[in-house]
Amino acid sequence: MIRDYQAIGRTWFLKGKQRIIPTYGQHKGVKLLGTLNYETGEIVCVEQESFNAGAFLDFLKMILNKYPTGKTVMILDNARIHHAKLIQPFLEKNKDRIELVFLPPYSPQLNLMEGVW
């Protein structure tokens, strides 16, 4: 998710010269699901209304349609939606076409998609 969060942590001004910095409190965000093809550098990304197992299942189906031959290996973080019971039958049915590999917990530096946005 990419957030438009305009909170100010801290700042400084000369005494008597403090400025008012407006924030708008909207806290809007965009929910994105995406993959990076390590061989070609191609990024496939879709915006979703919600970030849940159903949206992830739809994304997996889209990826298999995008890459209709061969096996796709997806390297993922450990978000709950990536392990959801809802996607297990799909993964079992398509085990010759798609495999999910999970990064160690709390290791965003290993996830190349974290730096794409």
**What confidence tens digit (pLDDT) does each residue in 79-90 have?**
899 999 999 999
Paired tokens of 78: 């450990």
Closest by Cα among 117, 68, 60 to 90: 60
Q: Report pLDDT for 115.
A: 63
Question: pLDDT digit string (tens) for 17-38?
Answer: 777 766 666 666 678 888 888 8
pTM for the structure as a whole:
0.73
Of 27-31, 52-56, 64-68, which range is least confident? Answer: 27-31
* Residue 51, SS3 per DSSP: coil
